[in-house]
């Protein structure tokens, strides 16, 4: 299933709901372009809700790392929410769990911006 991204605002935070797969090719390109557009429009607080993402490959992981770096360089913060157990394990194995701010729910990720 191709990646589908939907943007909405919650309590001053931009929430991007992702559904599908984040893999090499069109999907990672879509993710990069949409997130760059958000950052260019001035979004500083972003939650990437991954509840409906069923698969992420190494290219998808690389795209997320790149977006994290780009956001930081522009003074923005990206939080990951609702990641699958498998993705959590992947982040642990690759030591990227220390790079990303990961939250078990969208609500907790949103609240983290005001803490």
pLDDT given for residue 96 in this prediction: 95
How far apart, in whole angstroms, are the C-alpha atoms of residue 91 and residue 64?
11
Q: Which CATH number fits domain 4-110: 3.10.100.10, 3.40.50.620, 1.10.357.140, 3.30.750.24?
A: 3.30.750.24
Phi/psi-derived region of residue 19, left when phi > 0, alpha when psi is between -120 and 50, beta in every other case: beta
Give the CA dihedral 18, 53, 98, 77, nearest 10 degrees: 0
> Any idea which residue has 């780009």 for tokens?
70
Mean pLDDT of successive 10-residue stretches along the chain, which has 115 residues? 94 97 96 96 97 94 96 97 94 94 98 93
CB atoms within 10 A of CB 23: 17
- Tell me the pTM: 0.95
């Amino acid at each position: 299933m191709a990646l589908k991204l939907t943007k909405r605002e919650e309590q001053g935070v931009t929430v991007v709901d992702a559904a599908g797969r984040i893999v090499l090719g069109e999907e990672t390109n879509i993710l990069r372009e949409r997130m760059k557009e958000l950052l260019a429009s001035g979004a500083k607080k972003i939650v990437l809700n991954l509840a409906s993402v069923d698969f992420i490959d190494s290219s998808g992981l690389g795209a997320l790392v790149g977006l994290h770096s780009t956001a930081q360089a522009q003074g923005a913060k990206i939080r990951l929410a609702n990641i699958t157990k498998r993705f959590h394990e992947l982040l642990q194995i690759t030591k990227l769990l220390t790079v990303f701010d990961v939250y078990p729910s969208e609500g907790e990720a949103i609240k983290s911006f005001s803490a």
